[in-house]
């Protein structure tokens, strides 16, 4: 099976956008052949515990336990009395990934025979979530983004900066919105067990500090990528394929009652779900559909490789090739712009809906994000 949007192993189209100070996000410009996107390979993983401490292992891995077709999970249960929420005003930037790199340098420099033996053998290091934002940019009409980029020893590090609008939104969330953010985590608790022979414990505490993250390497056209993403759980069958193919992404969504709701689900939500899981090679999303009261009334599995077929009948719908080509051209743009190699310099790329991507350069500024311990470790 090798249809249009499968991972490919051979190089194809090169691209040559004009050298320019801005980058357009207009969809028509990115309707070309699907670029080469190599099958992502898991090169490691790490865990963050209930106090957000880093561990270079899979201790926070969880196992998917398939619920009934009509489960009746009450997602509001425990919001008041069994919920420990991560402090999202603390900006961790790339720190956890950098910790992983320091602990696993040998895994990403397999030969050590390159011209610069201690440099990382990748072009970009970032979070999967930042790449998801890039993939969806040509279709995004509400939220802009700010991405800080530093070139250090040849590798480009991309770390998000919270926009003013996002900060205002975070600080002014309604009580209803705060509670609804909990629902996704509660759904994880109903469907995940801590080991292969136990069952989910809906009576326990939900602590959003805890995370299991995969680290994958892949290539988009001529961009070698190393990124990490949080993974909800894995197939508990010991015969399941190796990671990332055994991973399962969990989602909740409002129940679909009208054709209009179905169309919106295809046009907006499936775009985000597809982009997020396609990037690390997670093959399926398990969705719990909930009513207004936060009760999961039905379940559905979406296979990432089938989503593009599912949406084909929607009028004016998103296209995977536009997402991938835009991301690819953005990364080429970054390579051309970010020329000075210094941990003290940040190029800030900025985008707002219906505008072009622009950038500015900053030396020794508030935007610097590579920690001293990382810089020192990589210079040794
Ligand atoms: O500093 C930052 N600007 C960010 C840091 C922005 C986004 C994420 N992060 C970090 C967090 O430390 C988190 O542990 O990245 C980790 C997740 O990375 P990711 O996989 O690259 O992010 P994304 O794909 O956006 O989100 C995956 C899951 C989410 O699941 P859903 O199903 O809602 O998409 O990670 C969780 C959430 O469960 N998540 C976060 N957890 C803690 N802090 C955050 C966050 N800021 N964002 C998403
Ligand atoms: Ca999830």
Give SS3 for 359: strand
Question: Average of pLDDT values for 208-215?
Answer: 98
Residue 12 pLDDT > 70: no
Name the residue at shortest CA distance from atom 32 of ligand 1.
251
Burial class (CB in 10 A: 0-12, 13-18, 19+), 88: exposed
Note the pLDDT tens digit of each residue in 263-303: 999 999 999 999 999 999 999 999 999 999 999 999 999 99
Would you state the pLDDT for residue 109?
73
pLDDT above 90 coverage of the chain, percent: 89
Would you state the pLDDT for residue 108?
81
93 C-beta closer than 6 A to ligand 1:
yes
Please state the atom number of ligand 1 nearest to the C-alpha of residue 251: 32
Would you state the pLDDT for residue 1?
37
Q: Do 346 and 160 touch, CB atoms closer than 8 A?
A: no
95 C-beta closer than 6 A to ligand 1:
no
132 C-beta closer than 6 A to ligand 1:
yes
Q: Do 143 and 166 touch, CB atoms closer than 8 A?
A: yes
Note the pLDDT tens digit of each residue in 75-107: 999 999 999 999 999 999 999 999 999 999 988
Q: For residue 375, name the pLDDT band (cuts at 50, 70, 90).
A: very high
Distance (angstroms) between ligand 1 centre and the Cα of 374 equals 22
Question: Average of pLDDT values for 362-367?
Answer: 98
Burial class (CB in 10 A: 0-12, 13-18, 19+), 216: buried
Name the residue at shortest CA distance from atom 39 of ligand 1.
230
**Interatomic CA distance for residues 242 and 368, integer angstroms:** 37
Q: Specify the pTM.
A: 0.94
| Conformational region of residue 244, where left means phi above 0, alpha means psi within -120 to 50, and beta covers everything else | alpha
Distance (angstroms) between ligand 2 centre and the Cα of 287 equals 9
Q: For residue 11, name the pLDDT band (cuts at 50, 70, 90).
A: very low
Distance (angstroms) between ligand 2 centre and the Cα of 276 equals 10
Would you state the pLDDT for residue 13?
34
Would you state the pLDDT for residue 7?
73
Residue 3 pLDDT > 60: no
127 C-beta closer than 6 A to ligand 1:
yes
Mean pLDDT of the chain: 94
Question: Average of pLDDT values for 197-201?
Answer: 97
Q: For residue 6, name the pLDDT band (cuts at 50, 70, 90).
A: low
Is the model more confident about 275 or about 118? 275
Question: Which ligand neighbours the alpha carbon of 129 most closely?
Answer: 1
The best mutation among 140, 206, 230, 282 to test binding of ligand 1, ranked by most ligand atoms within 8 Å of the C-beta, falls on 230
Give SS3 for 266: helix
Q: Which two tokens stand for residue 178?
A: 């705060």
91 C-beta closer than 6 A to ligand 1:
yes
Question: Which ligand neighbours the alpha carbon of 127 most closely?
Answer: 1
Note the pLDDT tens digit of each residue in 32-42: 999 999 999 99
44 C-beta closer than 6 A to ligand 1:
no
Would you state the pLDDT for residue 319?
97
167 C-beta closer than 6 A to ligand 1:
no
Would you state the pLDDT for residue 329?
98
pLDDT above 70 coverage of the chain, percent: 93
Distance (angstroms) between ligand 2 centre and the Cα of 62 equals 12
138 C-beta closer than 6 A to ligand 1:
no
């Amino acid at each position: 099976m090798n249809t249009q949007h499968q991972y490919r192993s051979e190089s194809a189209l090169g691209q040559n956008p004009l050298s320019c100070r801005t980058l357009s996000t207009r969809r028509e410009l990115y309707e070309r052949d699907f670029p080469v996107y190599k099958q992502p390979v898991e090169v490691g993983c790490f865990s963050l515990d209930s106090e957000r401490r880093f561990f270079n292992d899979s201790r926070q891995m969880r196992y998917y336990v398939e619920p009934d077709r009509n489960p009746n999970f009450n997602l509001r249960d425990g919001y008041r009395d069994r919920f420990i929420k991560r402090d999202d005003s603390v900006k961790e930037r790339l720190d956890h990934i950098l910790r992983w790199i320091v602990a696993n340098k040998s895994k990403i420099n397999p030969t050590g025979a390159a011209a610069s033996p201690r440099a990382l053998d990748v072009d970009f290091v970032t979070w999967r979530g930042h790449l998801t934002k890039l993939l969806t940019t040509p279709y995004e009409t509400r939220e802009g983004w700010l991405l800080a980029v530093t070139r250090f020893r040849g590798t480009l590090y991309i770390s998000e900066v919270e926009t003013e609008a996002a900060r205002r939104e975070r600080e002014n969330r309604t009580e209803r919105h705060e509670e609804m953010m909990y629902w996704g985590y509660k759904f994880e608790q109903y469907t995940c067990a801590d080991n292969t022979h136990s069952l989910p414990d809906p009576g326990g505490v939900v602590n959003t500090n805890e995370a299991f993250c995969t680290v994958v390497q892949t290539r988009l056209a001529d961009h070698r990528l190393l990124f990490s993403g949080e993974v909800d759980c894995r197939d508990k069958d010991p015969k399941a394929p190796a990671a990332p193919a055994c991973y399962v992404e969990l989602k909740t969504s409002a129940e679909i009652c009208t054709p209009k709701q179905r169309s919106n689900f295809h046009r907006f939500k499936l775009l985000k779900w597809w982009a997020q899981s396609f990037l690390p090679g997670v093959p399926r999303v398990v969705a719990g559909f909930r009513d207004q009261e936060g009760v999961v009334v039905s379940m559905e599995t979406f296979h990432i490789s089938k989503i593009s077929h599912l949406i084909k009948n929607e009028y004016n719908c998103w296209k995977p090739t536009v997402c991938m080509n835009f991301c690819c051209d953005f990364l080429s743009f970054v390579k051309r712009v970010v020329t000075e190699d210094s941990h003290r310099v940040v190029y800030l790329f900025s985008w707002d809906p219906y505008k072009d991507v622009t950038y500015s350069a900053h030396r020794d500024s508030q935007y610097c994000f590579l920690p001293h311990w990382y810089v020192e470790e990589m210079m040794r």
